[in-house]
Structure 1
Amino acid sequence: MALTQPRLPFLPRLREHRDVRRYRQHLLEGNVLARSATLLPHLQRLPITVQPAAGGPAVSLLVALESSPRIRLISGPSSGRALIMRQLCLQWAHGIALPQTRLPFLYHLPANEPPTTPPFDIIQRELSGLGFEHNELMIKRSLAAGMWLFLLEGWDELDREHQQIWARWLTACSERYPALATVVSTGPLAPQWTYFDDWEIVGWDSRSSAD
């Protein structure tokens, strides 16, 4: 569901109440609920918790992002990975602020893109489809300003070449745009990434969800 009239500018007017309200409504109608039919019975449950892979207390993903703005979820399938990202989007759409007042961008990494298509171009295309200003300069400004929280899933469906492309781009973005926050569910087999902290989902009954 693309946002309609007028197109949303990036900085600073995106913070205006009306534009933020429209984006919240888009998440509810087009990106969280409409595409998450199998997860609907669970979206209103208490938030799923995560903990550092190296050990530590279990906390909500919102709390984890305050200390670790770049997170790899290394839990495997049927761990609640898809649900925890949608729960976070739903929380934001209902008025709960994200750390640093970021906007959540939930995206399923595409397995059928030609390897020659740069990830930046894919993100640019998706933001255009959402109705945001999407010229290269404005997107880079928004990344540098930490306006987005990328929530990326579908890693397991990518072949090795596409995984390497996205891993390189995300680590490069983390170096170039330190304010950019990202959560990506890679599963347990992906090598560790620079700039990212590994977290695991805990306390989720895998029989309750496909992912």
Structure 2
Amino acid sequence: MASVDPVVYTSVDNDRLTDDWRIVAPGPRGEVRRTIDPRPQGFEHCVHSGIDAGLQPCPGIVVGHGLVHVGGTDRAGAYDLASGKLLRGIRTHDGRTLTPVGFRAAPGTIVYESATPSRPGRTFVLDGGGAGGEEVLLRHPAAAGAEYDTGAGRVLRVGGRVVVTPAHVSGDDARRQPRMASFAPGPD
């Protein structure tokens, strides 16, 4: 389940699972209002997080302002719910994961760009201008190693703060695995 208002969810083929998936938005009477297939643009189901039984949250998909914001390995984009067309998108060239975490009133998708072992992540707004037109909201501090070690398992934006947690925790205290990284703009 990507959203409950409006209702938007992902569906998968029983046999091919996440190799054959769609984003579905039903209408007010339960009929299919829109089906979006983001696979031709290179998007993977729920940012390649796999599937669980039942309706699970789908990391990497945020719904708002008539748009479905989709993320993935090296890309993010915004699809129009009315037409199903990709309105804007961006790609990275270093394999970082881009995860939509929210939106601004108009127009813009707030995106978390994951860290690499040597470079910290960042949070930016992807607007209608496309590549190069993004507005950087926050360059994360030089704690790239700790941020990278979270694996960007789950990413949320709450009150202007970006919170990154690992998808799994090993329980091995000797590894000093980060449990959470949180980033927010400093005082002006």
Q: TM-score, normalised by structure 2?
A: 0.28
| Structure with greater contact order relative to length (CA < 8 Å, sep ≥ 6) | 1
Q: Greater helix percent: which structure?
A: 1
Q: TM-score, normalised by structure 1?
A: 0.26
